[in-house]
């Protein structure tokens, strides 16, 4: 039996989950209890998720058990959206700018649930969200740059276009480089390109190479970081070496 199923069984025997979740959240600590979170997502309902989303940052600061409840709520919304509650999508967009990094990660997980169920729907929403603020753009990168979602070569052009447009924004707004939001986005792109190129090497490598010609130091850093990722070395180590030479 998996840990998620074990937690599902435990939760189904309880009438009130709150105390159990708070005590077993893993927070404060380096890692939240994601297995427990997924059990809540599977077994919870809309009323529960809405109540947990009331644990906003002032009430449940970063790295506190209350933040864990908020994570369960937002990922639960991802599940509800796949079941037809599309009106909840704006909640994900708002939460993408939350000050708590774990909650922002939960937003990406919620979007990925949508992508698992309907990748076209995810892409359509990402094409809107990419026009938002830096944290919303980072949510796009985190949501799309997930290997399990990038299986269909017919999606390559749209995914690459979205990531390229976000990279263009990064280059054009280097004056914001000292802000936390800009740094968060830059870190997302620092691994995101490697995921997309590894998934779609034929389409991705020529576009990636064009960014190597940029003189923008922020973009060059992003490209260098992606070239360090083992997933690219597995795809084409000679190409990686050539790309590194271009950045010297």
Give the model's pLDDT for residue 1: 83
What pLDDT is attached to residue 40? 98
Give, for 224, the enclosing helix (H) or strand (E).
Answer: helix 217-227
Contacts of 12 (CB under 8 A, 6+ apart): 43
* Degrees to nearest 5, angle at CA 104 with 56 and 113: 110
Q: Tell me the Cα Rg of the chain.
A: 19
Distance (Å, whole) CA 111 – CA 79 = 9
| Residue ranges covered by each domain of the chain | 1-117, 154-248
Distance CA 80, CA 82 (A): 5
Res 41: pLDDT: 98
Which residue carries 């998996």 as its tokens?
A: 2
Structure tokens belonging to residue 177: 């480089």
Distance, CA of 191 to CA of 199 (rounded, Å): 13
pLDDT by position in tens, the chain (length 248): 899 999 999 999 999 999 999 999 999 999 999 999 999 999 999 999 999 999 999 999 999 999 999 999 999 999 999 999 999 999 999 999 999 999 999 999 999 999 999 999 999 999 999 999 999 999 999 999 999 999 999 999 999 999 999 999 999 999 999 999 999 999 999 999 999 999 999 999 999 999 999 999 999 999 999 999 999 999 999 999 999 999 98
Q: Which of 50, 67, 49 is nearest to 58 (CA)?
A: 67
Question: Rounded to an integer, what distance in angstroms lies between the CA atom of residue 222 and that of residue 198?
Answer: 16
**What DSSP letter does each residue of 30-61 carry, written as one string?**
SS--HHHHHHHHHH--HHHHHHHHT--TTTS-
Measured between alpha carbons, how far is 123 from 242 in angstroms, rounded to an integer? Answer: 32
Instruction: Check residue 204 and give its pLDDT.
Output: 98
Question: Which residue has tokens 């700018």?
Answer: 97
- Spatial neighbors of 16 by CB under 8 A, at least 6 apart, are none
């Amino acid at each position: 039996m998996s840990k998620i199923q074990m937690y599902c069984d435990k939760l189904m025997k309880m009438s009130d989950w709150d105390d159990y979740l708070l005590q077993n959240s893993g927070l404060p600590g380096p890692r939240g209890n994601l297995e427990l979170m997924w059990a809540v997502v599977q077994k919870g309902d809309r009323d529960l998720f809405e109540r947990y989303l009331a644990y906003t940052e002032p009430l449940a600061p970063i790295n506190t058990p209350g933040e864990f409840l908020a994570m369960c709520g937002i990922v639960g919304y991802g599940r509800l959206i796949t079941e037809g509650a599309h009106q909840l999508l704006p909640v994900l967009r708002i939460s993408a700018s939350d000050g708590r990094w774990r909650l922002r990660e939960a937003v990406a997980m919620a979007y990925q649930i949508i992508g698992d169920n309907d990748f076209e729907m995810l892409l359509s929403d990402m094409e809107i969200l990419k026009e938002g603020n830096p944290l919303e753009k980072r949510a796009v990168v985190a949501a799309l740059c997930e290997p399990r979602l990038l299986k269909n070569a017919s999606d390559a052009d749209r995914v690459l276009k979205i990531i390229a447009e976000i990279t263009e924004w990064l280059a054009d707004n280097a004056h914001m480089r000292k802000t936390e939001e800009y740094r968060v986005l830059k870190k997302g792109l620092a691994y995101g390109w490697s995921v997309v190129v590894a998934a779609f090497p034929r389409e991705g490598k020529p576009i990636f190479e064009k960014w190597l010609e940029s003189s923008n130091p922020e973009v060059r850093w992003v490209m260098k970081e992606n070239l360090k990722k083992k997933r690219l070395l597995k795809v084409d180590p000679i190409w990686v070496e050539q790309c590194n030479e271009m950045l010297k």
